Chains A and B, each alone.
Chain A
Amino acid sequence: MSPQEIRAGVIDTLLGIAPEVEADQLIAGKALRSQVDLDSMDWLNFILGLHQRFHMDIPEADYAMLTTLDAVVAYLEARLD
């Protein structure tokens, strides 16, 4: 899966939780949770959505790495190979 496909999948998952977000307004290097206003339930649903889409179990201990959109894409890319 190419980084572009991963990115598109991540954004699609995000829009499923926060439908009011404009995808082209997202700043890829800025903290995702504060930018999109995800509370802990939204965040768990986001992780759950990634799990369903990419068939990958993301441990809670790794949440700290998933800070920005870029970081989420890089994290998935490194583990999908």
Chain B
Amino acid sequence: MIEFNLPSLGADMDEGTLLEWRITPGQAVRKGDIVAVVDTTKAAVDVESWVEGTVHHLVTEPGETIAVGTVMAWLLAPGEVAPAELPAAGAPMGQTDGPALPQTPPTEHLTPAALRTRMSPVARRRAEQLGIDPDAVHGTGPDGAVTLKDVEALASARITPPPAVAAAPKDRAAEMRRAIAAAMARSKREIPHYYLAETVPMRNALQWLAAHNAAHPVTERLLPAVLLLKAVAVALGRFPELNGHFVDGEYRPAAAAHIGVAISLRQGGLIAPALHDVGAKPLDALMSELADLVKRCRAGSLRSSEMSDATVTLTNLGDGGVETVFGVIYPPQVALVGLGRIADRPCVENGTVVALPALTASLAADHRVSDGHRGALFLAELREMLQHPDSLAGGAS
């Protein structure tokens, strides 16, 4: 049997509330299938399966809040036969919202007389006072006799409202602020950041985009953000020390650039879900994926792989932002690229000062993994790529 645990959904999330199951026992599950929807401080996340198998049974109940790593369900591996008994570890390991309610035992097989003999007079009197049906009380005394304590326990359980199935609406803004605070405080505590910045002329890139967009219908228009994403991914391919995770005291470079795109939410707060393998995708595919990601981000519907897979973060302020942004690295990543607003700046060209559209690209990187010299080379590479937008328009770099 395979344990299906609640996956980690980013450094700033350590628990989630199950909203609903998307699978039922007996159902076949493939890798990537959505198995459940889990509410986090940042969004309702579609949890994807990382294994293949058949659902044996579900452990977590909708409405339960569980810690990352808790067993949510048991799956049978392909070809595995269901065991006769459930594994002992099938009991949830995580905390539930409240104490479990005492179960009412089946009483059909007991005659009233038999029941009567198993209840102490003081317990019976108390049950009458409280309006409790003696048949409904589970006895824990000798021979299963109902004691005063049993009656009291049932009474107090009854006045405790059962845990709500739908989680009560939380103050999401306050929770998100706490989550961001925890991740960013950890970043500043653990990661020795260094910062670099470089001016990137954007005339060629903007001219290329304007020509492309004039030749295509509005549905196929590209934003500068897409060209920038692609340039960052391709440049990172040559600087593996900026693209990966620092885990358990050692650096693990990533094979592909899954870029976490910092997206601000209309109601406040920030999410940086991942666009997968950006360097390998053509611009039109990146554009539609980015549009879809922004839309789902704002609607509060993301996938677990998007929450956990980012290998680097890109903060792109677009045309409404400031000139320069220096980011705080999102652990366990080791770098954050910040792109400021594209605006006309005085630039020197052939010995003359001219007004050119430009942006400031910045790098915040982890000094445990890379040095400023390599970081500077990365920014120079990024600047050069954006002078040749044609070369970014293809598929793989």
Contacts and interface: CB of A to CB of B under 8 A. Distances in A.
B199 interface: no
Interface in A44-73: 44-45, 47-48, 51, 57-61
B315 to A, nearest CB: 13
A7 interface: no
A57 B266 contact: no
Nearest to A18: B266
Dominant SS among interface residues on chain B = helix
A39 B264 CA distance: 10
Given A20-B267, A60-B213, A39 B318 contact: yes
Contact of A57 (B218, B267, B320): B218
Given A18-B266, A45-B291, A61 B214 contact: yes
Chain A interface size, as a band, is 10 to 19
Nearest to B287: A44
A40 interface: yes
Given A45-B291, A60-B210, A40 B217 contact: no
Contacts of B225: 40-41
A46 to B, nearest CB: 11
Contacts of A19: 266
Interface string A24-56: 000000000110010111001101100100000
Interface of A: 18-20, 33-34, 37, 39-41, 44-45, 47-48, 51, 57-61
Given A44-B218, A60-B210, 5 more contacts: A39-B318, A41-B223, A44-B223, A57-B217, A59-B214
26 contacts: A19-B266, A20-B266, A20-B267, A37-B266, A37-B320, A39-B318, A39-B319, A40-B223, A40-B224, A40-B225, A40-B318, A40-B320, A41-B223, A41-B290, A41-B318, A44-B218, A44-B223, A44-B291, A45-B291, A47-B218, A51-B217, A51-B219, A59-B214, A60-B213, A60-B221, A61-B214
